[in-house]
Each structure stands twice: as C-alpha cells, then as structure tokens.
Structure 1
Amino acid sequence: MNYRKKLCIDCRMVYMSGIGTYIHHLIPRCINALPEFSFNLIGNSPLPFNLPSNSFFTKVSSHIYSFYEQIEISYIIRGTQGLWVPHYVIPLFSNIPVMATVHDVAHLALPDIFGFTKRIYAKYMFQILKMRARTIFFNSSFTKQEFQRLVGEPHCPTFITPLGVDTFWFEEQKEDSLFNFPYFLAVGNLKPHKNITALCKAFAGIASQCPHHLVLAGKKEGFITGLEETWENLAPGRIHSTGILNAAQLRQAVKNASCLVFPSLYEGFGLPPLEALACGTPVLASDIPPVRETCADAADYFDPHSESSLREGLLRCAALSADPEAREARRRRAALFSWDRTAALTVSALKQAFGL
C-alpha cells in the first residue's frame, strides 16, 4: 500500500510511569484510526503492544534528555512528514514538523524542587517548542494555562486532549485485599512534589485515632532517600512501601483501600484519582486546579500545604461507611474520561495539522 504520509512517533518513554501510560494506551488507537498514514515507532526496546499493520519499529540507542538523541533522532526522521513527541523534547537539528504533548511544566513551576541544570534545560526546550511546533497537545486546561504563564503563547494551534481511564479499572469482579488491615493508599513515584513526607506526618498525627495503615505504592529509588528512617519515628509498623506493583496488584490495592490519597503539590493532570474513582474507591485529593478539573465533586479535597487539613481529611475518610450511590457517582465521573475519546481528539488534531 502506498501511504500518503509517513510519521515518526517517539516511544522511548513507554516503560515510564505517566507518559508511558499515555503512549501505551493512545498510540495504537491513533495509528489504527489513521490507516492512510505509515508510522515509524522509535524506541530503545520492543514495545509492550502489538504493532498495527501500518506501523513498524525502529530501535535506537539514545535515551531521552541525552545529547546523542539530538543527532540520532534527527537522522531517523529524515524524509518523513512529521514527528510526534509525547513530551517536550524536540530535535534541534531538523526542520521536520513536530507535534508534541505537554503533560506539565513542573520544572518551571517548582524551582525549589528541580535543580538549576534541569530547569535551564526545560526552559530552553519549552521555548523552542513554543516557536517551532506545528501542533501542541495539552493534557488539561490547567497545563495549557501554565504553559502560557511560564513559557508564553505557542506559535501554533493547540488542543486539550485529556487522558483516559482504561476499562480495566471499571471491572467489577471481587478481589481479595493484599493486606490484612484497613488502609489509606497513595500511588505514584515518590518524587518530592508528590508531597509524601507531608502525608506520612499527617498520618502519624491521626494514627492513634483509627485502625488504618498507610500504604505507599510506587517507585522510590532515585526520588526520595532516608524516608524509611523517618517512617520508623513517625508511625512504627503502620506505614508501608510496596515498591512498584504490577497492574493487577495495583488495581487490587486501589479497590480495597479505604481511600486513595493524592497529596501532590503540583500536577498537570492527575490520573490515579480518576482510576480510583473508576473502582468506586473514595478519593482524598489536594485541592489543586488540575484535580478539580478532572474529579470535580466526586472527590474530597484538602489543602496540600496544611498538615491539619490533611489530618482532618484522613479522619473523614476513616469514618466513611459503604454508600452505593456515592460509589456509582464516582464511577460515572471517571467514565467521562476514556482513551477512545482522547484518541478521537488527537486524531482530529493530527488530520488538521496535515490538512486531511
């Protein structure tokens, strides 16, 4: 078959959390919806999904944020009509049209958390993206507003393409708990802006008033050091870190939690609260714009800068009893966000970018 357009997609971050989920669920849907395109999927290792018939895989050795990627990716994309990057790093040595997805601008918004070198790199790349991109996708209205505030107005069309909740999270079968105690659950890599230390301190402040434990699920290596020693002093035997859970274990942990706690100081979107709502699990979340944008009144909120506000929220969750109507309201809210809808919005923008 002779394809009218050939596009490259940078899939090197497919095994990372967050952006990896985005790539895994969205890219195959978009490719299948664009049979008139041929897609070259670029990655460091084989992809965790079956390649549609109008796509092929090219293995590269350069890693994200490296200098060598600027040379290798520019070489790989020669002769194509466009490159889609699901992040903000674009080739500097190529004039191929670029579509990019911006998930957040945390490096610019949180200068006290990210080091000087990372901030300067992000600021430079965002400025290049603002000037050179043909299309920019934002995962929320909040992320777009932050980009405008901290980077400037993009010189190209922009689209809001919210993330989706996989149908996996809505499945109803009963699953036994991974733990033999009631618990609050926090999910995600333990990066500083995830505010996990504050959560641990708040939990320690109410541990004597409820039977619950605090479970932290997510990668901690490379993000927080010394936190385990802090736990021993805060609430001995009541705070647990699982490390990375597989998909089935994670859903099991979310489904059986008394609530999912999402204490982040800053997010672009915030997918874990929506996935918890899909399970019918109560959500206690930071009162920040992107979470309000997605969860609306289906979640309970607290001030992430106030330990007392978080303590009060945990006690409210500890006192919750089963409420079938509230559970269904949570699931209805999550159902508004699907990967099929995200793909439809993205495909429409891609067609517009190429005049189809």
Structure 2
Amino acid sequence: MLTIDCRMADHSGIGTYIKNLVPRLASRLTSLSLTLMGAPDSLRRLLVEYGATNVSFLPFDEPIYSIREQLTLPFAIPRSTKLFWAPHYNIPALYPGRILTTVHDICHLAIKDVHASPLVRMYAALMFRAVRRRSIKIVTVSEFTKSELVSKLGYDPQAVQVIWNGVDDVWRRSRIADGYREPYLVYVGNIKPHKNLKRLVKAFQRISRQIPHKLLLVGRYDGFVSGFQDLDELMPCDRIELAGELDQDDLIRTVAGASALIMPSLYEGFGLPAAEAMSCGCPVLAANATSLPEVCGKAAFYFDPYSVDDMAGTILDFVRDEGGQARLKAEGYRQAESFDWSRAADQLCNLVTDII
C-alpha cells in the first residue's frame, strides 16, 4: 500500500502539485492500493474523472506545521503501508516505516531577513534534518532545490531525484479575458514577503506615467504576513488593482490576456506561474534568482529582484521592445513543452515502483 498525505490538496502551490499527481498515480499504479489522508469528500472529487478503484480515503485533519501532526500522524498511517509519500517537508518524523518526501524549496531557512521568526526557522531546521535522516528517497521540483539541499543542508545528491512540475493542458487551450480595455501586466501568487511585492509596486510606480499599462495583482492575501502595513500600500494609485483569488478559468484568461507576467520573487523552488504563463503565450519578466532562470531559460527578460531600478528598467524596456515581446512569446511556447504533469507522474510512478 502507498499512503499519501493529501491534507494540502486545497492549498495553492503544493495543492496544485497534489491535485495533478495523485490522480495520475492512482490511474497508473493499478496493482497497488492507495490510501489518501485528508478530507475524503474533497479527495473523492479530485479522483472522479480518473475512475480509480484502488483508492481508499482516511480522514485526517491535524494542522500542518504543528506538534499535533507529529504526535498523531505516525500512528494514523495504516500498518499495511509499504511506502508513505509526504508531498511537503513536514514528514511524520517518528514514523518507523519508509518515507518518500517531496521538497519544493527551503525558503523558510534560505531567506533569513524574510522568514525571521525563530520558531518557524527552528521547526524547519528540525524537519529538514528529519527528512535527510528518515527519507528513503527525496524528490525535488528543480535542480535548484536539489542544489540547495546538497550545498546548504548536506544531503547526499544520490538520494535526491529531480522531477519537474508540469503545466495543465488547459493553459495551452487558453482564451483571452474580457473586461480589460487597457493593456496590463500581471503578477500571480500569494502576497507573502518573499514574493517581493513591495519592490514590484515601487518599480511600477516609477514608470507608470511612461507606459499605458495597469498592474494587476492576482492571488490570496488574507491570512498572510505580507510585509505591508496595510493593503492600501499595494494600491498607491488607480493603476494598480488587487484582483484577489480567481478560479482557474478566469486565471487562465487573465494571464493569457496580459502583456507580460512579472515574477519578482526573492526565492522560488520552481515558479509554476511562469511555466503556466509561457504555455499560454504570455511573455515573462522574472527575477534572475533561484529556480527562475532554470524554469524560464531563454524565454524571459531578467532583472535583479533586489533592485527597484533594474526591475523598473526591465519592464520599461520590454514594453518598448515589440520584437522582444514576440521573441519571448515564441520562446515561451517552446520552453513550456518541458513541463508536463503526465511525464512527471510517469517518473514518480517509476520511483515508487522501484522503492516498493
């Protein structure tokens, strides 16, 4: 039996990872029983179109990053489990069985100025030590994250396998959004400190009178320590709009209709919004840091994420460079072909089969 911690299936980021890989695993590993731990009703909906009959559901709702999950999860995992897959680094450290762990990034440790909470950093440090000690194999979503584990945390490179994320095919069949009469630039992501929204807002303010574009900020902001004293700081003029969370259809149409997607992040383990944007023909302007050059390749204009001047200059250069816009769009289509959830599922299935 393969048991999977699916508690984060409804989250952004890791939730997208779970939603795309777990159903594909179930449809491929037909000779293996799967137990999904989380909210059964939500997980059943996730598997409807795949018609998998080898899956059972185990209710488990202890909060992530908590002492309670560490005390209860090891004992909730069925005894017949041959392999437990943790799609995030919060593994059950006391579980005696075999663990496969996916690590998306080490952001909680890597960006000290942003994630300054001693408690958060201590928890992350303890868990990453447990991941290194207890995991029979570790999957990372980029070569960058693998290099972080090896160089900063002393992981054995032979224990780590890179499996890139994919892009849902619906992005490649996108339609452009209605409702925006003027051109716009778009940011997609949660409003967290390492996403670097403060510098993006300052950069846009600096050039807003020189371009006709609006800046549209898409993503969840409730419940996050954003680094802004007030959300009004994100909207210093009527050219910046907080769109909040969008459903998938609206998100795809909005990105497809943008002049460019901007990713100013100080740290990304993969940068899925960039891959999705490229797949629907939206050019990308990205930080020249962490995993983003790996994901975007030649299909982006890059800037220093710590420099407001460089970010503003890159945006301005892009808007004025029609030839560059066309080149990035064409390069983006080619680069996005590297990211396929079915390919990722095949690689993960092979890994699970080898372990079991």
Superposition TM-score, scaled by structure 2 size: 0.93
SS in 2 for 1:184: strand
In structure 2, stretches of 5+ residues that fail to align are none
The CA distance in 1 between the partners of 2:191 and 2:93, in whole Å, is: 32
Could you list the structure 1 runs, at least 4 aligned residues long, displaced by more than 4 angstroms after superposition. 322-326
The CA distance in 2 between the partners of 1:155 and 1:271, in whole Å, is: 24
- The 8 Å contact of residues 130 and 155 in structure 1, kept in 2 or not, is answered as no
Q: How does 1:22-61 map to 2 (within 5 A)?
A: 22-44=17-39, 46-47=42-43, 48-50=45-47, 52-61=52-61
The CA distance in 2 between the partners of 1:185 and 1:283, in whole Å, is: 10
- Shift of the 325–184 alpha-carbon distance from structure 1 to 2, 3 Å rule, reads closer
- The 8 Å contact of residues 133 and 156 in structure 1, kept in 2 or not, is answered as no
- Shift of the 143–176 alpha-carbon distance from structure 1 to 2, 3 Å rule, reads closer
SS in 1 for 2:315: helix
Is 1:163 matched up with 2:165? yes
The CA distance in 2 between the partners of 1:163 and 1:231, in whole Å, is: 30
Aligned residue among 343, 352, 355 for 1:353: 355
Q: Cα RMSD over matched residues?
A: 1.7
Q: Which residue of 1 aligns with 2:343?
A: 341
Shift of 1:11: 0.3
Q: Which residue of 1 aligns with 2:232?
A: 229
In structure 1, stretches of 5+ residues that fail to align are 1-5
Q: How does 1:269-348 map to 2 (within 5 A)?
A: 269-321=270-322, 326-348=328-350
**Most deviating of 40-49 and 321-330:** 321-330
Q: Which residue of 2 aligns with 1:265?
A: 266
Shift of 1:155: 8.8
Q: Which residue of 2 aligns with 1:122?
A: 124
Q: Which residue of 1 aligns with 2:16?
A: 21
Superposition TM-score, scaled by structure 1 size: 0.93
- The 8 Å contact of residues 31 and 55 in structure 1, kept in 2 or not, is answered as yes
- The 8 Å contact of residues 258 and 317 in structure 1, kept in 2 or not, is answered as no
Q: How many residues align?
A: 346
The CA distance in 1 between the partners of 2:176 and 2:189, in whole Å, is: 21
Q: Which residue of 2 aligns with 1:219?
A: 220
Shift of 1:227: 4.3
The CA distance in 1 between the partners of 2:73 and 2:187, in whole Å, is: 37
The CA distance in 2 between the partners of 1:124 and 1:246, in whole Å, is: 36
SS in 1 for 2:297: helix
The CA distance in 1 between the partners of 2:343 and 2:98, in whole Å, is: 25
- The 8 Å contact of residues 87 and 101 in structure 1, kept in 2 or not, is answered as yes
Q: Which residue of 2 aligns with 1:3?
A: none
Q: Which residue of 2 aligns with 1:66?
A: 66
- Shift of the 195–155 alpha-carbon distance from structure 1 to 2, 3 Å rule, reads closer
- The 8 Å contact of residues 44 and 63 in structure 1, kept in 2 or not, is answered as no
The CA distance in 2 between the partners of 1:317 and 1:251, in whole Å, is: 22
- The 8 Å contact of residues 279 and 336 in structure 2, kept in 1 or not, is answered as yes
Aligned residue among 151, 155, 160 for 2:153: 151
Q: Which residue of 1 aligns with 2:251?
A: 250
Aligned residue among 140, 143, 147 for 1:141: 143
The CA distance in 1 between the partners of 2:151 and 2:131, in whole Å, is: 15
Shift of 1:320: 4.1
Write out per-residue CA displacement over residues 239-283 of structure 1, whole angstroms, 9 at most, x where no aligned residue. Answer: 111110100111111011110000000111111111100111111
SS in 2 for 1:277: helix
SS in 2 for 1:83: strand
Q: Which residue of 2 aligns with 1:194?
A: 195
Shift of 1:34: 1.1
**Most deviating of 89-98 and 132-141:** 89-98
- The 8 Å contact of residues 259 and 281 in structure 1, kept in 2 or not, is answered as yes
SS in 2 for 1:50: helix
Write out per-residue CA displacement over residues 190-244 of structure 1, whole angstroms, 9 at most, x where no aligned residue. Answer: 1000000100000000011011111100011122243433245x4x211111110
Write out per-residue CA displacement over residues 317-346 of structure 1, whole angstroms, 9 at most, x where no aligned residue. Answer: 322438666533311210111001111111
Identity of aligned residues (%): 37
The CA distance in 2 between the partners of 1:129 and 1:156, in whole Å, is: 14
